[in-house]
Amino acid sequence: MVSTTEGDDKPAKYPAMFAASQVMIINKIDLLPYVDYDLATVKRFALAVNPQLQMFELSCRTGEGLDAWCAWLQTVGRKIAHARSGV
């Protein structure tokens, strides 16, 4: 998880973390108009180290992106439950 308030240098600064991840959450996107955060650069650097990385842009304040994130969690949860059931 990265936050727009913490700077846009995280994928470049910690590439191993992004290379090992399946998902990247970009949180507090409602603050983008007020912070110095280059969303396109963050995505580009993250995808450069992990082209399979799935990204979710979220705002807990406005609810933006939460439906997609929750749907992804439900899908993954069902897959895990199915795998554990041995069916």
Closest CA to 26 of 16, 11, 13: 11
Number of domains in the chain: 1
Closest CA to 15 of 47, 54, 57: 47
CATH number, residue 15: 3.40.50.300
Statement: residue 87 has pLDDT above 90? no
Angle at 43 (CA atoms; ends 50, 71), nearest 5 degrees: 80
* Tokens describing residue 28: 């507090």
Q: Quick one: pLDDT band at residue 85, thresholds 50, 70, 90?
A: confident
**Residue range 12-39: average pLDDT?**
96
Q: Quick one: pLDDT band at residue 24, thresholds 50, 70, 90?
A: very high
| Domain assignment of residue 69, given as a range | 2-85
**Residue range 1-15: average pLDDT?**
94
Q: Indicate the pTM of the whole model.
A: 0.87
